[in-house]
A and B are shown apart, each in its own frame.
Chain A
Amino acid sequence: MIVFQDAGAAAKSDLATQEKASSEQRRQLVEHLEQVGCAGEVEVPPASPLPSLLVEGSERGLDECLKAPGVKEVLKISEDIDLKAL
């Protein structure tokens, strides 16, 4: 699944500002997952310069990601859809 953060104005700012915002939101996400006892159910990668994170975890973890501060949207990526060489 992919977690899209509510990066707001940071989305069009310079990369360093974006990464700082992304890092802070990642911290909030991890903190929330710890508070609700879901930390072990979701694998959260390091912050990237993009206002989104590619995470992997359980259905419950996905629901909890959506409740974390600053998270705007959580989308589940289907593993059944193949992209082919053209």
Chain B
Amino acid sequence: MEVARYIAIRPLDVGPPPAAGLAEEGDRIDAIREDLVASAKELPAMGLERADRVADIPADPSQGGFVTLPEFNALLLEPPVGTPKEAMQEKLDESYVLARNFTLSLPETALGEPVSAADVRPILDVLADRTGVRESHEEGNRGAGTVVAVLDTGCDGAHREFEGRKIEFAEIPQDLKVPLNRVDAFDAGTHGTHVTGIAAGEVVGIAPETDLINASVMESDTLTTTALRVMKALYWLVELLKEDRYKGKPVILNMSLGFDPNDIPAEEQEGLEDTLKAMHLLIQQLVVSRQILPVVAIGNSGPDTSCAPGFFPESLAVGAIDYEDASWPDSSGGFGPTGFDQECNPDIVGYGVNVVSAVPGSSNGEPNYERKNGTSMATPYVTGVAALVAAKTGLQGLELREHLIDNAIALGLEPARGGSGLARYCL
């Protein structure tokens, strides 16, 4: 159960009087702290013991704690799970206003750990030889003659990973009536650049010579999109692929996004079935009509969960493992809803833990990189490998999907954790 956090704040004129001057400021803060503690004397009886720092509050959800925030004349409360707000309010002075402090956070994958450009290792030094990526590059196959399309937050086309590359880019608006925006590639967040870098970056990417297409479909602040926006991007993609330069080229579509139908609240389920069906039929059409292979993240919610569009049978659903071949605990797996998927997910796995790739911008003249976790990161690994295989064999769509599954490296994981195994370049 989620631990709630509250701020109890009171007006500045409650408590010790204002300091007469800067020299007295330190003493005043100490006085406020003492006064706050005195005002909170009944909290320990409710299981909220005083702590010096938030980090010192017990992690056990049956215990609680509070810290003083004298600079704000406030208390930060983390009560034992299940403690009613009203009960805490009763124990505090009436002058306090008690407010739930909702945590504003990005999805876990967005919270990357910065990595210095000097510490970034080329992909061939990161991946084991058994993945076949080294063999492919040494043969001169770096994905040329294929197309990788990424639907995500966008991509920083100016990053050194994409230097000299032409990225076909469109910003897909939420409103269908607003025309899409064809501009130089940019990233509304960091997720899309990271994903694109893994699939096709020059240093950290697996298929750096593939033709890149990138559609920005996600809001930067929420890292979410809608089914409608994704579908609009897919129609843009098939229009673009009509151009002569793409004719005959295998196309791999990377979607490090999705939703779990079981997460949709009951009151919002209206239209869910139609939306799932529409997405599924459109994916089928992409696969059948244009031989596009959708490589899709299966989700980050652990066992017995799976996301659309990853669980559609035509998608190559990707789970995550670490570089030691252990399943990432948060990687989703299992069966999709009845009627859409009778196969166990994921179909295959890729590296999705502590994956270093590009993020937008630069610091002190050096391009930015981050380490991130997620099936979002495992998916472009598989996309990159698929591009290498397609470049060499000419396989497309469902044939390419089958080849990757049949030639994956068996890891000894149960199917719901490891699928057919780790994707590899193997002809």
- Tell me if B231 is interfacial: C-beta within 8 Å of chain A: yes
**Chain B, range 254-281, C-beta contacts under 8 Å to A:** 256-259, 264, 268, 270-272, 274-275, 277-278, 281
**Roughly how many angstroms separate A11 CA and B289 CA in the complex, as a whole number?**
6
Whole-angstrom distance between the Cβ of B342 and the nearest chain A Cβ: 22
* Contact count A vs B, C-beta below 8 Å: 128
For A49-86 the 0/1 string (1 means CB < 8 A from B) is: 11110101000000000000000010111111111111
A85 interface neighbour in B110, B176, B177, Cβ under 8 Å: B110
**Roughly how many angstroms separate A77 CA and B254 CA in the complex, as a whole number?**
22
Whole-angstrom distance between the Cβ of A24 and the nearest chain B Cβ: 16
**Roughly how many angstroms separate A86 CA and B311 CA in the complex, as a whole number?**
14
Instruction: Decide if A2 touches B226 in the complex (CB within 8 Å).
Output: no
B contacts with A, residue count (CB < 8 A): 53
Instruction: Decide if A78 touches B288 in the complex (CB within 8 Å).
Output: no
Instruction: Decide if A82 touches B177 in the complex (CB within 8 Å).
Output: no
**Roughly how many angstroms separate A70 CA and B275 CA in the complex, as a whole number?**
21
Known: A2-B231, A56-B176, A85-B223. A77 touches B271 (CB 8 A): yes
**Chain B, range 224-263, C-beta contacts under 8 Å to A:** 224-228, 230-232, 235, 238-239, 242, 256-259
Nearest CB in chain A to that of B352: its residue: A86
A contacts with B, residue count (CB < 8 A): 29
Whole-angstrom distance between the Cβ of B267 and the nearest chain A Cβ: 10
Known: A50-B238, A52-B281, A54-B235. A81 touches B257 (CB 8 A): no
Contacts of B386 in A (CB 8 A): none
- Tell me if A28 is interfacial: C-beta within 8 Å of chain B: no
Nearest CB in chain A to that of B153: its residue: A85
- Tell me if B191 is interfacial: C-beta within 8 Å of chain A: yes
For A1-22 the 0/1 string (1 means CB < 8 A from B) is: 0101000000110010011000
**Roughly how many angstroms separate A85 CA and B239 CA in the complex, as a whole number?**
25
Instruction: Decide if B257 touches A86 in the complex (CB within 8 Å).
Output: yes
**Roughly how many angstroms separate A52 CA and B235 CA in the complex, as a whole number?**
10
Nearest CB in chain A to that of B374: its residue: A86
Q: What are 22 pairs between A and B in contact, CB < 8 Å?
A: A2-B281, A11-B285, A43-B176, A49-B242, A50-B289, A54-B228, A54-B231, A56-B177, A75-B275, A78-B268, A78-B274, A79-B228, A81-B227, A81-B264, A83-B224, A83-B226, A84-B257, A85-B107, A85-B218, A85-B224, A86-B297, A86-B307
Which residue numbers of A lie inside 8 Å of B, CB to CB?
2, 4, 11-12, 15, 18-19, 43, 45, 48-52, 54, 56, 73, 75-86
Task: Report the 3 A-B pairs with minimum CB-CB distance, sorted nearest first.
Answer: A78-B271, A86-B297, A75-B278
